[in-house]
Amino acid sequence: MSALVGNQRVDAEEESYETDYPRVLSVQSHVVSGYVGNRAAVFPLQILGFDADCINSVQYSNHTQYPAVKGQVMQGHELLDLVEGLKGNNLVDYDYLVTGYIGSESFLSSVLDVISTIQSVNSAVKYVCDPVLGDEGVCYVPAALIEIYKSRVIPLAYMITPNQFEAELLTGIKIIDEQSAIAAMIKLFDLGPTVVVLSSAEFPDVSPGKLFCYTLMRDKSEPDKYHISRVIVNKMDGKYTGTGDCTTVLMLAWMHRTNEDTSSSLLNSISTVQGILSKTRERMLRSGVVAGQGSPRSSTVPMDEEARLKKMRLMRYSELCIIPGKRYIEYPPIEKLSLSVVEW
C-alpha cells in the first residue's frame, strides 16, 4: 500500500510518523455511539501521527439522524473555562486548531477567543475551519451563524472545508457546474483563508452519479493564478454521516505531511474516505441493510414502530467503519482514483 507525497508514491516502510508529533486541538461534536465529529476526527489524526486533544461542543448519545437522541450542549463560557485550564498549565501551544459543528452564536464567539489565546502562545498556529451549516438544502444551525463565519471566523482560517450547500450559503452563488463551483471557491478565498476545500459537490444536470471534490489556493510559482485540484468519485447509494468531519482532518494531516501539496492531500484524503465508505457498504450488505431504507434524512413525518426500528437499524449499520478502515487511513488506496489539476 502507498500514499501520494508530491509526485511520488511512498511505500509504508519508507514513511515514518514517529519523528514529528504536531499538536491539534479539535473542537467538534461528540457521540457516545457512532462516528461523527470528534469520533470521526481524532482517530485518523492519531493514526497519522498527530497528538490530538479534543473538546466536545455537544455530547449526544448518537447522531441526530437516529429516531431518538439525548445529550448535552456545551456553552461558550464552559469552552473558555477548559481553555483557561489548559493555558494555566502551558498546554495551549497547539500547532493546529480545527472546529466542526457549532450550534450557537455564543459558542462560535468563544471560538474566536480560543484562537486568540492559542495565537498568544504560538503565532504560527493554523486554524482549520469546517463551517458546518447544513447539507442537501437543510440548515442545521441558526442563520445568524452564516454572517459570523463570513465576517469574523473564515478571515482567521488557514483552511476551510465547506460542502456544496455550505459554500452556497456563504457566497450566495448557486453551484450547478464546475465553473460556478470555482467561482464560489474564489469568493471564499477572497475572505482570507490560504486554502479552500470544496469537500463535495454534485452537478446532476451535467454529470449525474458523480461527486466532485476540489482544493483551491494560490499557485506557488505563479501567485497571480490559482492552483485548483479536482478528484471525481462515483456517488454511493445511501446517506453517510461524518464523512465531512473525516475529510477535514485528513486534509489537515496530509497538508502538513506533504508540505502543502494540495493535489496529493486531496487525493489521499478522498481515497481514504472512499475506502472507509466501501468498508461501510460491505458491512451494510452483510447485515442485510439496504441503503435508502427508512424515512428520508430530513423527514419530520411521525414513524410507526416498524419504521422506527428500520431506521434505527439503517443508522447503526451506516455508521462509518473508521476502525476497520484503519489501513485506508495509513495507506490511502490512491490507485482507485484519478486526480486532475484545473488551470484558472
Active site positions, annotated: 245
Q: Which residues contact residue 143 at a Cβ distance below 8 angstroms, ignoring those fewer than 6 apart? A: none
Phi, psi of 88 (to 5 degrees): -65, -15
Q: Which residue has the cell 450547500?
A: 165
Handedness of CA 253, 257, 261, 267 (dihedral sign): negative
Phi, psi of 330 (to 5 degrees): -70, -45
Distance, in Å, from the CA atom of 3 to the CA atom of 329, rounded to the nearest integer, reads 10
45 neighbors 24 (Cβ within 8 angstroms)? yes
Nearest alpha-carbon partner for 230 in 210, 216, 245 = 216
Distance, in Å, from the CA atom of 54 to the CA atom of 38, rounded to the nearest integer, reads 7
Provide the grid cell at 164: 456544496
